[in-house]
């Protein structure tokens, strides 16, 4: 009988494209079981090899031992985040546990580690730089995951890792369920006065989809963001803010206990491996290297951020009191009155930009920027997908028609998709099935969708988000590495945001906007005074925005520098950790941690500081472009060859210095933020 599990069989689609419509929920568990079985056979083959351990028969063999499992998990987690369902959610705990068990099966095997250690001790025999880097990463992967522990300690580590693997998917599931459980239904037209046309069209469509009259607003960002910014009804703003800021805090979907469990397991794990805390363990493999470097970064940015934030909030308080007699500015007031202040001071409304950012034209604009910088061409070609909203493209080098990779875009919200925006890979660039293959990457977003009245028209923030995630995609697409473990975005986490954040800078430049920012009805180019306003708006409330990022990094470091298990009150702990960064009153029954997926369902634990760290890098890098022209081919070629193509094949600071000619300086960031 023909095997119809398309996660096990080699896909027949061109370039090994994933045949999504043929993959059923029932395929995942058998595919993962079969892939683990094959992976273990491969591991046993390495162990039983009687030849002297060397790079090829040990390190390279390990690198390729679990290719089928890696692929099956990539497909599963792609769907788990972008288009989940009850069946996929139900199997997440078991799948996480199985993959964790397999990982521990490798890293905690004494016999296997002896072979790896032998190759490492004889690394002087290895002359290829990328081979040497893979060896070092493999060796450290074993050591940092318990290879040197005794048998009792290894068993304890297995239990911790298995438990942790089950908690993160549950955390995500609770946030998604709580996000989908809330909405505001309004039928009185007076209560939606002042809301932008784009939001009214979206909310009207959502109401119709639920067979309701009037307008429906929810916690997905295309609805929540504009609503809290433009709604004149203070009670409604408070209602939606409390729901958003209280996600997964209380009730059936509470993550309060999960946060404590995850934090405490990380404390135990770090101690078991010989570290003071989880942050010390994490930072050992980061550019920052130690906790003092992170706190030093915060200290350097704190004073200018706080001073500017206090001045900004005072201006907002003044206008709130003048307009509506607001005596105490609350968090649900800030976006509304700061937007009014922005329109007053800059004589500009963000909503005026939307007609110039029709989604398809904006995506093409991102492609045009990649063409001018890196000579890339994105060809729209139909490939099988998991949802009608997903678009697919083949990417080529325009000069020699070399195939670069497959690119998927999934841009609009739905109840089956988690909130936020991210980039991911279905297939990493590098060695697969004895060939070095090109990558399949994807960006997933939650942008303002089209309505009956208009096509999808993006806000400035959404355009910046698109370029950000596209920057991650370029990092994945342009990779030229031998091994998937080192390719693309497989770099230190405080370096991974450089390629993404640097791309946002182009959105503020006339030379870039003139490529694509045309009025969707008239075809008129975006007016020059709008571009000037965009530049000014980037500095508007920059102190507040910087302070908020620092506060998120602070709560991250507070949780992950704990040296003993936590048994206190989560909200009190948060308030103390973020107190010095606060410029608005703390509201009871709200929490940052319980919906903070970056920390508790992603890879940013003890690493959220990376965004501010990378801001210094990206501002400094873009300054180099600006000095020579934002589409300067020589600078772009250096960024491509020294950063984007190299993945994790060298230390990030070495790569950056190869590109910039020196270490990064914070001056460009301070200038961009308006702090100087």
Q: Give the rounded percent of residues in the chain with a pLDDT score beyond 90.
A: 96
Check pLDDT > 80 for residue 234: yes
523: left (phi over 0), alpha (psi -120 to 50) or beta: left
For residue 12, the model assigns a pLDDT of 59
* Segment among 40-44, 143-147, 347-351, 613-617 with least mean pLDDT: 347-351
Q: Tell me how crowded residue 406 is: count the other CB atoms within 10 A of its CB.
A: 26
| 87 counts as catalytic | no
Residue 154 has pLDDT above 70, yes or no: yes
Whether 255 contacts 249, CB under 8 Å: yes
Q: What are the structural domains, with CATH classification, of the chain?
A: 14-107+109-148 (1.20.1050.40), 182-245 (no CATH), 355-542+611-673 (1.10.1370.40)
11, 15, 21, 26 alpha-carbon torsion, rounded to 10°: 40
pLDDT band at 558 (very low <50, low <70, confident <90, very high): very high
Half-sphere exposure of 634 (CA within 13 A, CB side): 6
Q: How confident is the model at residue 8 (pLDDT cuts 50, 70, 90)?
A: low
- pLDDT category at 2 given cuts 50, 70, 90 is very low
Q: How many Å apart are CA 646 and CA 624, to the nearest integer?
A: 20
- Contact between 48 and 412 (Cβ < 8 Å): no
pLDDT digits (tens, 9 = 90+) for 39-94: 999 999 999 999 999 999 999 999 999 999 999 999 999 999 999 999 999 999 99
Q: What is the DSSP track for 507-572?
A: GG-HHHHHHH-B-TTT-PBPPHHHHHHHHHHHHTTHHHHHHHHHHHHHHHHHHHT--S---S-HHH
Q: Are 645 and 479 in contact (CB under 8 A)?
A: yes
Taking residues 251-259, what's their average pLDDT? 97
Cα–Cα dist 260/249, whole Å:
12
Q: What is the torsional sign of CA 469, 470, 473, 475?
A: negative
For residue 332, the number of C-alpha atoms closer than 13 Å in the C-beta half-sphere is: 20
Q: Percentage of the chain with pLDDT > 70?
A: 99
Gyration radius from the chain CA atoms: 25
Element spanning 432, H or E: strand 430-432
Evaluate if residue 347 carries a pLDDT over 90.
no
Tens-place pLDDT, residues 579-633: 999 999 999 999 999 999 999 998 899 999 999 999 999 999 999 999 999 999 9
C-alpha to C-alpha distance for 65 and 67, rounded to whole angstroms: 6
- What gap in Å lies between CA 527 and CA 514, rounded to an integer? 9
Q: Which of 469, 497, 509, 571 is catalytic?
A: 469
Instruction: Determine the pLDDT at residue 109.
Output: 96
State the Cα angle at 501 between 497 and 503, rounded to 5°: 130
- Print burial letters for 170-202: b (CB count within 10 Å at least 16), e (below 16): bbbbbbbbbbbebbbebeeeebbeebbebbbbb
Closest CA to 337 of 263, 233, 255, 230: 230
Residue 405: closest CA among 74, 9, 12, 14: 14
**Residue 607, burial from CB neighbour count under 10 angstroms (0-12, 13-18, 19+):** buried
The tokens for 257 are 């206990």
Other residues' Cβ atoms within 10 Å of the Cβ of residue 163 = 16
| The pLDDT value given to residue 11 | 60
Q: What is the mean pLDDT of residues 300-312?
A: 96
């Amino acid at each position: 009988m023909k095997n119809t599990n398309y996660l096990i069989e080699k896909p027949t689609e061109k370039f090994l494209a994933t045949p999504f419509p043929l993959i059923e929920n029932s395929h995942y568990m058998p595919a993962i079981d079969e892939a683990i079985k094959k992976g273990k056979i491969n591991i046993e083959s390495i162990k039983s090899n009687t030849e002297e351990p060397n790079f090829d028969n040990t390190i390279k063999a390990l690198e390729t031992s679990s290719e089928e499992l890696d692929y099956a998990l990539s497909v599963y987690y792609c769907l788990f985040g972008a288009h989940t369902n009850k069946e996929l959610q139900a199997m997440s705990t078991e799948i996480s546990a199985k993959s964790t068990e397999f990982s521990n099966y490798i890293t905690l095997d004494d016999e296997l580690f002896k072979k790896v250690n032998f190759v490492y001790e004889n690394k002087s025999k290895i002359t290829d730089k990328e081979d040497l880097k893979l060896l070092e990463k493999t060796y450290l992967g074993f050591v940092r995951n318990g290879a040197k522990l005794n048998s009792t300690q290894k068993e304890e580590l297995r239990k911790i890792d298995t438990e942790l693997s089950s908690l993160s998917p549950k955390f995500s599931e609770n946030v998604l369920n709580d996000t989908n459980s809330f909405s505001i239904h309004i039928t009185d037209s007076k209560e939606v006065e002042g809301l932008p046309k784009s939001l009214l069209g979206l909310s009207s469509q959502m109401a119709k989809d639920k067979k309701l009259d009037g307008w429906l607003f929810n916690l997905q960002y295309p609805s929540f963001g504009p609503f809290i910014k433009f709604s004149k009804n203070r009670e409604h703003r408070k209602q939606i803010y409390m729901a958003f800021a209280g996600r997964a805090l209380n009730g059936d979907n509470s993550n309060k206990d999960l946060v404590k469990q995850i934090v405490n397991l990380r404390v135990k794990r770090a101690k078991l491996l010989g570290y003071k805390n989880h942050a010390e363990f994490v930072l050992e493999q980061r550019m920052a290297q130690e906790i003092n470097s992170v706190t030093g970064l915060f200290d350097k940015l704190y004073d200018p951020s706080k001073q500017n934030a206090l001045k900004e909030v005072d201006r907002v308080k003044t206008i709130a009191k003048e307009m509506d007699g607001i005596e105490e500015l609350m968090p649900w007031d800030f976006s509304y009155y700061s937007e009014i202040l922005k329109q007053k001071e800059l004589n500009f409304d963000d909503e005026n930009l939307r007609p110039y950012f029709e989604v398809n034209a904006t995506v093409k604009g991102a492609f045009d920027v990649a063409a001018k910088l890196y000579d890339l061409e994105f060809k729209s070609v139909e490939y099988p997908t998991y949802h009608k909203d997903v678009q697919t493209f083949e990417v080529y080098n325009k000069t020699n028609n070399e195939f670069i990779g497959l690119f998927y875009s999934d841009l609009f919200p739905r109840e089956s998709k988690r909130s936020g925006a991210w980039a991911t890979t279905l297939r990493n660039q590098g060695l697969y099935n004895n060939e070095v293959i090109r990558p399949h990457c994807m960006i997933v977003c939650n942008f303002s969708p089209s309505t009956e009245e208009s096509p999808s028209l993006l806000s400035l923030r959404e355009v910046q988000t698109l370029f950000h995630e596209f920057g991650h995609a370029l990092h994945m697409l342009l990779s030229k590495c031998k091994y998937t473990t080192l390719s693309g975005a497989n770099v230190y986490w405080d370096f991974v945001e450089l390629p993404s954040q640097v791309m946002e800078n182009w959105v503020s430049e006339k030379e870039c906007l003139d490529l694509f920012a045309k009025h969707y009805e008239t075809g008129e180019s975006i007016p020059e005074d709008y571009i000037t306003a965009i530049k000014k708006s980037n500095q508007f409330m920059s102190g507040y925005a910087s302070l908020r990022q620092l506060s998120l990094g602070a709560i991250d470091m507070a949780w992950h520098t704990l040296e003993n298990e936590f048994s206190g009150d989560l909200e009190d702990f948060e308030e103390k950790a973020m107190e010095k960064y606060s410029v608005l009153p703390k509201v009871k029954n709200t929490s940052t941690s319980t919906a903070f997926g970056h920390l508790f369902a992603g890879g940013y634990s003890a690493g959220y500081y990376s965004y501010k760290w990378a801001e210094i890098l990206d501002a400094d890098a873009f300054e180099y472009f600006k000095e020579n022209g934002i589409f300067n081919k020589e600078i772009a070629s250096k960024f491509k060859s020294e950063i984007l193509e190299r993945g994790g094949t060298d230390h990030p600071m070495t790569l950056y210095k190869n590109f910039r000619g020196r270490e990064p300086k914070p001056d460009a960031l301070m200038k961009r933020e308006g702090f100087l």
